[in-house]
Structure 1
Amino acid sequence: MEIRQLTAKDATIYQSLRLEALQSAPEAFASSYEEEVDYSNELIEHRLTQQTSYTLGAFENDHLVGMVTLIFSPKRKIAHRASIVGMYVDATARKKGVGDQLVKEIMVKANSLPQIESLHLSVTATNEPAKALYKRHGFTTYGLEEKALKIDDVYYDEELMINYLPNKTIER
């Protein structure tokens, strides 16, 4: 397995996996398949080349099977925090350590950015495998957002998780 940062050249394969994710796990994403299916290639390229995010892809035999994005802000008051979003592993690649590798590598990337002290994410409260994955990497739950998502009149709660990165000065 190879994990690397996705670039504009990866827009088509990224969008294909992203749409699969939105269809197969709609409760795991704030966006929907219907909203993103007609996104232009230029928009996807822009998403992958922004200065305030990094998207990593996991490849098996040159096939994109997983992805995760780190988003951060240049604004001074919130520059110390980053968010992990868009985490997805294709069903054919699950239980092979792909998710673990993606989280590990995105944390390495976050740690390489001197301003980032903590990582935040939200996960569907009923998604036990994802919560276990994040807990293995040091994330802890700090809150619950009830009815965070609504899909076809069904509500989904989200657990809010945080990881204070090691070797960073954090006063709490």
Structure 2
Amino acid sequence: MSISIRQIELKDVAGFHAALSSVAGEKKYLLTVEPPPLDRAREFVKKNVEQNHAQYVAVAKGSVVGWADIVPVARQSMEHVGHLGMGVVSAYRGQGIGNQLLKNAIAHAWQQGLKRLELEVFADNEPAMRLYRKHGYQVEGVKRYARCLNDVYQDVVVMAQYRV
């Protein structure tokens, strides 16, 4: 099966939103359990395209099946920091798609001049943590009992890497 990894385009908004909705709907991997409305997703993608932020998609059979974005933090004195968001729809996991998406997004973020890349991941998501470590992220801390969903608590691990 042919899967292409490329920078997102405006034509990908609906596909990106569908992939995000699919992963969020699992309520396992993202802090977001309800996807944003389509118009907010469109604004997010439009801004990333216009400002050449690192946002990549994986496309298979004409559908977006994964994404990774590293977007600068919108706070004064923190513009050098990028925050990672990513996901791969369940049917396409375990095929190296996340690895390729992350590789492209990180390279793009460094080229854009970001100095620190950070993320949050659930402590029980060991495959994701292995992937992030492989790409240079290190654990900086743990937020204990950071999420409670359906009376189940999860710790959130804060990971980052930096270049100064």
- Return the TM-score normalized by structure 1: 0.84
Identity among equivalent positions (%) equals 24
Aligned length: 159
Correspondence 1:162 to 2:160? yes
> Is residue 12–residue 64 contact of structure 2 (8 Å, CA) maintained in 1?
no
Q: Which moved more, 1:9-18 or 1:126-135?
A: 9-18
TM-aligned CA deviation for residue 123 of structure 1: 0.6
Trace 1:1-172 onto structure 2 (pairs within 5 A).
1-24=3-26, 26-33=27-34, 36=36, 39=37, 41-51=38-48, 53-73=53-73, 75-85=75-85, 87-114=86-113, 116-165=114-163, 170=164
Contact 1:27–1:151 at 8 Å: present in 2 too? no
Deviation at 1:89, TM superposition (A): 1.0
Q: Contact 1:48–1:54 at 8 Å: present in 2 too?
A: no
* Deviations 1:27-62, CA, capped at 9 Å, x for gaps: 3222222x63xx1x3322111112565431111232
What whole-Å deviation, never above 9, does each CA across 1:130-172 have from its counterpart, x for those lacking one? 000001111110100111112122211111101124xxxx2xx
The one-letter amino acid of 1:159's match is V
Structure 1 CA distance for aligned equivalents of residues 76 and 44 of structure 2? 22
SS at match of 2:31: coil
Kept in 2, the 8 Å contact 1:3–1:59? The answer is: yes
- Measure the CA separation in 2 of the matches of 1:117 and 1:43: 27
Q: CA RMSD in A?
A: 1.8
Shift of 1:76: 5.0
Contact 2:23 2:90 in 1 (8 A): no
Structure 1 segments unaligned to the other structure (5+ residues) = none
Task: Answer yes or no: is the 8 Å Cα contact 1:149–1:155 preserved in 2.
Answer: yes
* Greater Cα shift, 150-159 or 101-110: 150-159
SS of alignment partner, residue 118 of structure 2: strand
| Aligned structure 1 segments of 4 or more residues deviating by more than 4 angstroms | none
Distance 1:101 1:141 in 2: 21
